[in-house]
Structure 1
């Protein structure tokens, strides 16, 4: 659902939530609940990179080589994969798991998405204590997502 310029359609605000945390912190569990309860599309940077490698494309070969060498894939490569998946989803609400990994990634994402999107992405950051039981964590998450239809936000969970 994109216009001829590769942008999101209409004047809708794009909601982007960055979901970050260490292995086993409950990111996947909470993302599943957010998708079910709030209609977000869950995009995993790692899954998109692995799919690109599996495709056998020139880009996939480059990604594979960088990973084998222990290097970080350039921000632009990951951002382009994320943006493509966002545009192809037909949604305007996204959970992005495993990205950004650093400040440069975040700034690059904002620059790329804001230049190519007809809608503005507004970022704010909220932290959720994921050490609590799953249901308690989701109560904190729900408080962040409750106003999603009127307030555009991007959060670190």
Structure 2
């Protein structure tokens, strides 16, 4: 018969856990990267539910800041309207604030860093290096099929837009993945498989973060 107890606060697997200081707060950060349609959003929800992480989307934080009507939000909105790229430092500050305010100490950062400049700025500003990068690897053909299946709009326009997004991902985000791969910090997931099978692979990676462990006692 097993007794359910809280899992240890610190997980010892060095390839999985890298605790860092954020102000006076220790946090564990996992970057989640994958092309549009790779299914990372669905799997982030599963990780939050099963492993107690907080999901931070850089895009959601920027949109929330704009919606707040703050001076910073107005600046972000104007930059986007003018077709300018929001500076890395602006996004990083929002991520920092979200991590400090949240009581949790485990974070999935989704869709960031988008490029090498983002990556270098994040590490320089926060002094945080991710525990690892969770990379949802999926063919462009499969991602295109999924994205078109979601959308009921004009197919030709959508294909053109989707393929531009793929091009940006390959040119901008793959160098980030290659950088961390050279440091043996990339956990690659075959995201072309059905959702339940993908999550089985995700669970194997996040097992050290399970909320509870079972201690079996001899009878």
Q: Normalization by structure 2: what TM-score?
A: 0.58
Unaligned runs of 5+ in 2: 1-21, 133-184, 211-219
1:134 to 195, 210, 213: 195
Aligned length, in residue pairs:
138
Deviations 1:8-64 (A, max 9, x none): 43xx4x221111223322111101100011100001111100011111111111111
Matches within 5 A, 1:62-81: 62-81=75-94
Unaligned runs of 5+ in 1: 1-5, 150-157
Matches within 5 A, 1:63-142: 63-114=76-127, 122-123=131-132, 124-142=185-203
CA contact (8 A) 1:15 1:148 kept: no
CA contact (8 A) 2:30 2:131 kept: no
Q: In the aligned structure 1, how far is the partner of 2:73 from the partner of 2:83?
A: 15
Instruction: Give the corresponding residue for 2:23.
Output: 7
Deviations 1:113-154 (A, max 9, x none): 21xx7xx754522221211110111111112212348xxxxx
CA contact (8 A) 1:113 1:121 kept: no
Q: In the aligned structure 1, how far is the partner of 2:73 from the partner of 2:191?
A: 34
Change (3 A) 1:8 1:38: farther
CA contact (8 A) 2:56 2:110 kept: yes
